[in-house]
């Protein structure tokens, strides 16, 4: 009878431990299955170079992303200082470095490079195909957004982003920006339900008025499952393994003592 109980307890312990490990592995796989390339815009064809990029300025590319619009990538601290070379001229944003005490920081809260999308001239989306989606399983698209204005122009302007995944579109609030201003970075999360395993993710700037270049800033793009369970840290998994091993040892000791 004691041997039977011992076997049952041992089997239960092994089953629970196996379930825990499988759950952790499933969580890890689930959390890392969606692929967004270069969501922080750190990998460039010309590393460290602030410039226009995409189809209108092919010498610079933000790896993983495509665009046919008048859009720029700025490396840290260059937007209101050295600026970014473009097809027409070197572009800057208003900021402390070029005469406007508007609080424009060197970078976004995500750090590193960020994009500036013109919402009123040669407007074109920045996009890429996201893979690893599960049809019918909701995902969260998270990103940082801010409004700015091209240096050299004045006047109140507005900025907004249209964010699309497949055929579904959502919009950030319209932000009103003072002349030579900067609105500050804000973090947004939109939820989408994909209809296929791969869909195009895109960001399109919408700005007013024409002739007073409104620039929509973007950084830190991620796509994650909405219902993804917390991913255990490796140290936590190891600690749980140790704990289960200890429980097994205690069970064996108790039955050994009971048999004496």
Confidence of residue 209 (pLDDT cuts 50, 70, 90): very high
Query: Structural domain of residue 108, as residue ranges?
Result: 51-225
Let me know whether 120 and 247 are in one domain. Answer: no
Average pLDDT, the chain: 85
**CA 66/CA 150 separation, integer angstroms:** 22
Same domain? 249 vs 214: no
Residue 213: pLDDT band with limits 50, 70, 90:
very high
Residues 26 and 106 in one domain: no
- In which region does residue 220 sit, left (phi positive, over 0), alpha (psi from -120 to 50) or beta (all else)? left
Query: Which phi and psi (to 5°) does residue 245 adopt?
Result: -65, -40
CATH of the domain at 112: 2.60.120.260
Helical segments of the chain, H only: 2-31, 234-259
The contacts found for 45-48 with CB under 8 angstroms, 24 or more apart, are 48/75
70 and 89 both lie in a single domain: yes
Confidence (pLDDT) at 27: 41
Confidence at residue 33, expressed as pLDDT on a 0 to 100 scale: 73
Check pLDDT > 60 for residue 255: no
pLDDT at 227: 82
| 255: number of Cβ within 10 Å | 16
pLDDT at residue number 223: 98
Domain check: are 193 and 153 in the same one? yes
Contact 79, 104 (CB under 8 A): yes
């Amino acid at each position: 009878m004691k041997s039977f109980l011992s076997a049952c307890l041992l089997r239960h312990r092994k089953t629970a431990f196996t379930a825990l490990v499988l759950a952790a592995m499933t969580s890890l796989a689930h959390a890392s299955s969606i692929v967004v390339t270069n969501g922080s815009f750190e990998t460039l064809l010309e590393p460290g170079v602030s410039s226009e990029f995409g189809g209108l300025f092919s010498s610079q590319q933000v790896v993983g992303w495509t665009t046919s619009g008048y859009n720029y990538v700025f490396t840290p601290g260059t937007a209101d200082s050295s600026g970014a070379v473009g097809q027409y001229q070197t572009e800057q944003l208003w900021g402390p470095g070029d005469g406007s005490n508007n609080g424009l920081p060197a970078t976004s809260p995500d750090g590193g490079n960020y994009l500036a999308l013109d919402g009123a001239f040669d407007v074109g989306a920045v996009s890429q195909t996201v893979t690893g989606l599960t049809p019918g399983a909701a995902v969260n698209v998270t990103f940082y957004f801010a409004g700015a204005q091209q240096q050299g122009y004045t006047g109140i302007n507005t900025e907004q982003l249209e964010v699309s995944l497949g055929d579904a579109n959502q919009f950030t609030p319209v932000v009103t920006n003072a002349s030579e201003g900067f609105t500050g970075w804000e973090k947004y999360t939109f939820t989408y339900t994909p209809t296929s395993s791969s869909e195009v993710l895109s960001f399109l700037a919408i700005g007013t008025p024409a002739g007073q270049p409104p620039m929509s800033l973007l950084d830190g793009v991620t796509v994650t499952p909405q219902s993804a369970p917390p991913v255990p840290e490796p140290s936590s998994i190891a600690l749980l393994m140790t704990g289960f091993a200890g429980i097994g040892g205690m069970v064996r000791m108790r039955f050994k003592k009971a048999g004496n």
